[in-house]
Amino acid sequence: MASSDKRIMSGMRPTGRLHLGHYFGALSNWVRFQSQYDSYFSIVDWHALTTKFQNTREVQGHIWEIALDWLCVGIDPDAATVYVQSAVPEIAELHLLMSMLTPHNWVEREPTLKDMVKMLDSDESAAKEKITYGLLGYPVLMTADILTFKGQLIPVGKDQESHLEFARDVCRRFNKLYDVDYFPEPKPEFTETPLLKGIDGQKMGKSFNNDIKIADTESDTEKKVKQMITDRTRLAKSDPGHTDLCEIPWPMYKVFAKDRPDYLAQVKNECETPLIGCVDCKKRLAGEVNDFFRPFREKRELLAADPDRVRKIIEHGNSKARKVAKQTLSEVRDIMGMVDWNKD
Ligand code: TRP
């Protein structure tokens, strides 16, 4: 059970299976938080639709994958509320109400939107069709996600900083406009993302096709680790290696063995003496990755084989979330002076 009544809220877009970056950057923290705070974790499928509105079915399929990834790494549905955004229509209502009081230049100045425009800019007319009204409202929807559950601490990566700033601005504006102290200001809890590079040395990302997934098989993991770039200056196995020049395996060792300094010292020594070549060293690293994820992967398979159980977990989370959301929206309507026509 949560030891504090403080609400924590976060979400992930269902755009595919999750990778090691998601685990070390977010999920491992969520697992820690769920026993300390009243936690709400949302699979934000509407947010996925802001860019994937042509692949709606695919998005819905990914909800399932994300749920399996979350549950297998230890997100505990008895400790945290795990739910699907689109199962809670009150969030959409709050999004709409918040959109009324959000100045349009606030959404237009969002740096992430500017990046997206730049990215899509090569074909200007196609870009215009992709930047939809819904995409423009991305941060408003995120604000609604948070405020519906009165989230106080929001564990997110640094890349979400401007969205959080936005949410705080809208929150303050609501409280000020209606002269209330209703919504608590959501504070970001920046999760420490170890810089996990993908197997090609770029930032690990699903769209770069360079990631190792939580759900990968052991042999896929081995194959991927084998491809990792090591120390470019080391040409032969007999040359001493340099951990400080090793591009991916060494930083990854440091993530996986961060609590085993003696082991890390041994790996470093074996590389630099050299007692071991990069090929063998990567084999050992793949073993580390597989050992670490084995229990999660086993649990994931069991869950995947029992779809009824997973569906019940999600439905239970949805209904818990919905109860809270209904309460919030009823209070918000009241504050805004709206007649509640559906009051039972
Ligand atoms: N925008 C977030 C991301 O891409 C996902 C998200 C949606 C979210 N709603 C949220 C995160 C509410 C925290 C709180 O990572």
Does 153 sit in the ligand 1 pocket, CB within 6 Å?
Answer: no
Instruction: Please indicate, yes or no, whether residues 278 and 132 belong to a single structural domain of this protein.
Output: no
What is the band of 112 on the pLDDT scale with cuts at 50, 70, 90?
A: confident
- 56-82 pLDDT, tens per residue? 999 999 999 999 999 999 999 999 999
Instruction: For ligand 1, pick from 7, 8, 9, 12 the residue to mutate: most ligand atoms within 8 Å of CB.
Output: 12
- In the prediction, which pLDDT does 336 show? 98
Give φ, ψ of 169 to 5 degrees. -60, -45
**Number of domain units in the chain:** 2
Q: What does pLDDT average to over the chain?
A: 93
Ligand 1 lined by 146 (C-beta under 6 Å): yes
Exposed/middle/buried for residue 133 (C-beta within 10 Å: 0-12, 13-18, 19+): exposed
Query: Do 148 and 271 fall into the same domain?
Result: no
Q: Classify residue 25 by its DSSP letter.
A: I
Statement: residue 233 has pLDDT above 80: yes
| pLDDT at residue 79, as a whole number | 96
Q: Are residues 118 and 260 in the same domain?
A: no
Q: What residue numbers bound the domain in which 274 lies?
A: 216-301
92 and 110 co-located in one domain: yes
pLDDT of residue 343: 78
Q: Give the Cα separation of 189 and 152 in Å (integer).
A: 10
CATH number at residue 99: 3.40.50.620
**174 and 224 fall within a common domain:** no
Q: Is the pLDDT of residue 124 over 80?
A: no
Verify that 126 and 50 share a domain, yes or no.
yes
**Same-domain status, 314 and 295:** no
From the CA of 138, give the closest atom in ligand 1. Answer: 1
Domain assignment present for residue 297? The answer is yes
Mutate to test the pocket of ligand 1, among 8, 13, 207 (most ligand atoms within 8 A of CB): 13
**Quick check: CB of 156 below 6 Å from ligand 1?**
yes
Residue 125 lies inside a defined structural domain of this protein: yes
Residue nearest to atom 9 of ligand 1 (CA): 142
Dihedral of the CA atoms 85, 88, 89, 90 (nearest 10)? -110
pLDDT digits (tens, 9 = 90+) for 265-281: 999 999 999 999 999 99
Which pLDDT value is given to residue 157?
A: 84
Domain assignment present for 252: yes
Q: Does position 246 have pLDDT exceeding 80, yes or no?
A: yes
pLDDT at 243 over 80: yes
* CATH code of residue 228: 1.10.240.10
pLDDT band at 206 (very low <50, low <70, confident <90, very high): confident
> Looking at the domain assignment, is residue 205 inside a domain?
no
Ligand 1 touching residue 44 (CB < 6 A): yes
Residue where the block lists tokens 């569906």 = 311
Q: What is the pLDDT of residue 285?
A: 97
Smallest Cα–Cα separation from 42: which of 69, 71, 17, 9? 9
Verify whether ligand 1 is closer than 6 Å to residue 10 (CB atom).
yes
- Residues 252, 141, single domain; the answer is no
| Predicted TM-score of the model (pTM) | 0.94
Q: Tell me if 11 CB under 6 Å of ligand 1.
A: yes
Please report whether residue 37 resides in a domain: yes
Residues 160, 288 within the same domain: no
Pick from 338, 316, 324: nearest CA to 84: 316
Q: Determine contact, residues 85/91, Cβ cutoff 8 Å.
A: yes
9 lines ligand 1 (CB under 6 A): yes
